[in-house]
Chains A and B, each alone.
Chain A
Amino acid sequence: MGRRSVLAASATLAWAAWAQPVLAQPAARPRGLHSVVDFDEATWARLVEKGPRPAAYVFTASYCPNCPDAFEKLRAFVTESRRPVELGVVLMDLEGAKALAHARHYAGATRLYAFQGFEPAIRQSVDPKWPNVTPYIVLLGRDGSVQRSIGAPEEAVLKKWLL
């Protein structure tokens, strides 16, 4: 193998390694979710304080037929933005293997959470006024701004979020 080939291979490897995090965004082939993170009454405060930004959290339930559509609109917007965004899905009524099985409806999510504990208390830790309607979507901006929506957020809200 000549030097040029080695150089070319090296450069290709370097580009691929550099590009990997970008391609791992929802913009490209969705990564599979292989684990579920517990979401309890303290989780939301930790996410708001120390979690990644920008981020979107889609609170959903297995019985919610509107939720995958809302997620897909959000994912498409993130994809188009070409920016690294945390795209979390929070299942309120399933846990463990059942939650993972349900994750196939949310291809492109970066993380899967499942409620652990008394559902109303966890819900109120996210928003005391959230009336248990799903999908409930919270957008955390890079600057710490918080926007909430029942159903898919409006285009203007999404643009403001990733400004």
Chain B
Amino acid sequence: MTSLQKNTPLRALLALGTALALCCAAAASAQQVHDAPTKGGHGAHAAPAKPPAAVRKGRPQLGTGAAFAPDGTLWMVGVDPQGRLFVQAAALGEAGARWSAPRLLDTGGDPISADGENRPKLVFGPQGTVLIAYTQPLAKPNTGQVRLLRSTDGGRTFAAPVTVHADRQIITHRFESLGFDARGVLHTVWIDKRDLEAAPKVGNKSSYRGAAIYRNTSSDGGATFGPDIKVADHSCECCRIALGRGADGDLRALWRHVFPPNVRDHAVAVLRADASAEPVRATYDDWRVDACPHHGPGLAAAEDGFHAVWFGIRQQGEEKVPGVRYGRLQPDGTPRPGTVRLLPDERAEHADVAAQGPRVAVVWRSTDGMTSTLKAWLSTDAGQTFALRTLGSVQGDNDFPRLVQKDQRMVVVWRNAEGVKVHELDF
């Protein structure tokens, strides 16, 4: 046997190893190119990467707040494409809404959340008070603080924004709602994660379920605020809070709660200036899920309790039925038996509700591809029967519809990328 012959197996192995290494390295290199979305995405199925976000048209921030002023003009607050806070007023007539030019408000450079569930709010109070509240997102994800602009001259001028809550941690204080009770006390409620932050961790996760609802009060129309008060532990984290003023003059808050172990139903609490009341359970969909609906409820006072709308998934026989439901609540917030019904639209989302005497309006957005349709469910018998109406439709981006009420008058304010539509409800 020659030396060449003797070394053949070793050389062959060496060659094989080198070839395999080169081959596999080439394959790995090809995989890296295949994985690089900036070079055409994931093979043929991914869209080519577009220019950086900086040169794109971003997601529109169309979340708005609206309210009737004491003189009957309709006001709205929102942010413009540059993210600046503005107010507009409209006189409503036969020809529809005639909006004034937008008036920019000085927020001291605060960024503002205006994405539907977390939007600026507008409230008129006693003695020329006008309040605009918004969440100022902070640099850390999912953190923010509740800010307030206050006017005491009917909205002609506003003071610089102030932070509403006493807690100043860089954590969640978001999804605020505010309103005056019959005695003129201002109540502000928000979703707060101070208890989650303080709770012991299990591994790297908090042992705390959900977030919490906090509130405070102001007896001078938002000039000063009392201490932060916990309303309830274990709320859902990113759904709006609905407020309604009962026949007794007290405000109620309705929010999506996380009942043990992970039931995402709703709870109601009475907001009193002088005392805390234990929350009660308001809905019984029994939707057990570790997920974020990002779909808060609506609440309106009835002659004997409240009208409520909410989204949930309810087991009906063998089927899980998702949808927006309407139901009546007792004055204490517990459900009135036999009143729950599904809205007649499986695409219904982000419904709002308003009521005046026996007249009840439920409005919602129904999307089908690029088309969003505004629908209304109207009752003249306090919610026993409803008639379905289609009020309009738009293409592309739009806000959720907002019901605005003053005495007998109810309108729907619906903003889209082109403008703001106002639909007067005729029962």
Contact = CB atoms under 8 A, between A and B. Distances in A.
Interface of A: 3, 6-7, 10-11, 13-14, 17-18, 20-21, 24, 35-43, 46-47, 49-52, 61-67, 69-70, 93, 95-98, 102, 110-111, 113, 116, 118-121, 124-125, 128-129, 131-135, 150-152
A51 B28 contact: no
* Most central of A43, A63, A70 by chain B CB within 10 Å: A63
Closest 9 CB pairs of A and B: A96-B53, A17-B24, A10-B17, A120-B367, A46-B45, A14-B20, A13-B21, A37-B37, A50-B45
B237 to A, nearest CB: 5
Contacts of A128: 347
B44 to A, nearest CB: 5
Main secondary structure, interface of A, reads: mixed
12 contacts: A18-B20, A43-B47, A63-B292, A64-B238, A66-B292, A96-B54, A118-B370, A119-B59, A124-B367, A128-B347, A131-B293, A152-B290
Nearest to B397: A118
Given A6-B14, A65-B238, 15 more contacts: A3-B14, A17-B21, A35-B49, A39-B47, A43-B46, A52-B42, A96-B52, A111-B42, A131-B311, A131-B322, A132-B349, A134-B291, A134-B292, A135-B292, A151-B290
B292 A65 contact: yes
Contact of A21 (B28, B46, B292): B28
Given A35-B38, A63-B294, A7 B28 contact: no
A39 to B, nearest CB: 7
B413 to A, nearest CB: 19
Contacts of B396: 118
A102 B17 contact: no
B10 A3 contact: yes
Contacts of B35: 110-111
Nearest to B113: A63
Nearest to A20: B28
A7 B46 contact: no
Nearest to A113: B46
A104 B322 CA distance: 31
A51 B23 CA distance: 25
B199 interface: no
Given A35-B49, A39-B47, A43-B47, A14 B291 contact: no
A128 B311 CA distance: 17
B291 A63 contact: no
A71 to B, nearest CB: 12
Contacts of A113: 46
Contacts of A70: 290-291
B289 A133 contact: yes
Contacts of B142: 62-63, 65
Contact of A42 (B47, B289, B367): B47
B349 A121 contact: no
Nearest to B348: A131
A41 B48 CA distance: 14
A51 to B, nearest CB: 5
B372 interface: yes
Contacts of A18: 20, 24
B225 to A, nearest CB: 26
A124 B41 CA distance: 22
B205 interface: yes
A132 B365 CA distance: 13
Of residues B10, B56, B290, which shows the largest number of chain A Cβ atoms within 10 Å of its Cβ? B290
A14 B31 CA distance: 16
Contact of B20 (A17, A50, A52): A17
B201 to A, nearest CB: 13
B108 interface: no
A162 B292 CA distance: 27
Contacts of B237: 63, 65
A79 B25 CA distance: 23
Contacts of A121: 367, 369-370
